A and B are shown apart, each in its own frame.
Chain A
Amino acid sequence: MLGFRCIVGDAVRGGGRLLRNLPPVQSRSVRLLPPPHLPQLTHTCLLSKGPNASVSSAKLKLRTRLAVTLLLGGGVLAVWRYVYLEKQQNLRRQRVEQLRRVALGQGSFSLLDHRGQRRTKKDFLGGWLLLYFGFTHCPDICPDELDKLSAVVSALDRDASLPPVQPVFITVDPERDDAPALARYVKDFHPRLIALTGSPEEVKHAGRDYRVYASAGPKDEDGDYIVDHSILIYLVSPDGLFLDYYNRMKSEEQITQSVRSHILHHETLEL
């Protein structure tokens, strides 16, 4: 870092002195030096402060001086960029570490999908998930959110550089939402949407893992009721780790952008 400051200082204060110090042939062939060569530059920088500096007065063409200044400036920028990116990556690593310790989405689930097949959380490892909890008799919010979720997945599907994201719907109303009911329901949304149900205990367990609140309202004379529940879309990484959540206020574009950024910056954990 000391050598670094020295170069910058020289470039600002007396770049000319440094340039004059260099023989013409050598300065024409100066290359952009990568960070590991910094100590060598520091050496030159120290030399320029020595008695030799005042001795040599060979004039260089302005163009050469400019080229060297630009190269040095570019080098400084490259180092700055490298340090910046490294820092960002460290922050992301720290966030993943923190998320691993968060008591959210850590457990497993074992549920039946809308085709009647048993699915566990393990089956979904290795791919990205967007999870939503709701129920098929839901008046307006669930269909809205599932439409939004489907649109997000379709938008991500259009980007060939991204891996497919699996949309998953977990019912909070296992009493009415059996596999056939879910099979009818998923037809209205994204073709890859998987809906999950199970025994009341299994469903409760899956929901508790994501801190989902669900409470069935009073039944009317037809036995119909509304389930009040939390409305969040969860993003789960290929490591099975909860990464982010989106509430009702988040638009389709905002969610798509956020998921894309999570995927692009994701580092697989060494498990």
Chain B
Amino acid sequence: MTTTVRESAAADGGVHDLAVRTTGLRMRYGQRDVLDGLDLEIRRGELFGLLGPNGAGKSTTIEILEGYRRRSAGEVEVLGQDPERDDPSWRARIGIVLQSSRDHGRWRVGELLDHFAGYYAEPFDPAELLRTVGLSAQADQQTAKLSGGQRRRLDVAMGIIGRPELLFLDEPTTGFDPEARRDFHELIRGLRDVGGMTIVLTTHDMTEAQQLSDRIGILQAGRLTAVGTLDELAAAARARSEVRWTDHDGSPRRQLTADPSHAVWELHQQYGGPIPGLEVRRPTLEDTYLGMVSADLAESTANATATATATAIRTETP
């Protein structure tokens, strides 16, 4: 009996390093499984990027984790608690930034942030936070009069005003210009590095995911098909690096290889010295991602064809 207790306590120690854990998470709409036994682990203090094609179940997953949607089956723990319980003390530890918002349009920016600070025990200083997101000059403006980028930054400020341990960011930079995007990324990194916040990000933008995420999960057809750092994903997808150089006759040459270092070493020997126009391009997240998504598509199509053929043969044989 005593041993069991000690064991479970030890197991708990491990679990508490996780901000999010789902096992066998299932979400069924009518006849369709949008989430088909999803197993996901997000560690405390990391910036986790959740990627996937449209309809893969990203939004559903996030909404279940946020406590906005009831799951059909499976286990979910967010900050050590089932999000369906949705109690205020748990809510206070979660920050949410939704995709689109135009709520509280008639409120003034500063007034709104001050008001929302009131719901939390240890909020950030609203004026200071407004400065951090670069909206001090807009404090007396109505929120409906903000530009798209300014409104997004206000949304982030409202999402983190309560000093959450875990922040959900759903497609945060849609519609940003490059400069606003860069500033935004700095803000998000700061939250993780200085504030120690765990951040879960969904995005369509591969560059964004690559620049921000510590680890990335790829969701396809309701399952997590790959998870890891960018390098781990590239390795898993056998994504190849590209080595480019210029040949003796001036023509550009190109080689795809899983081991670019070895390829360059061989080229050096071949050229007996510096290689003209040498360029090594590591696989980007986009290469890896597209490689995975299209390989999976090809595979499932092949499987479907094989099954169909097998069925056809079986029906033919009496």
Pair from one complex:
no
Q: Which positions in B face A, CB cutoff 8 Å?
A: none
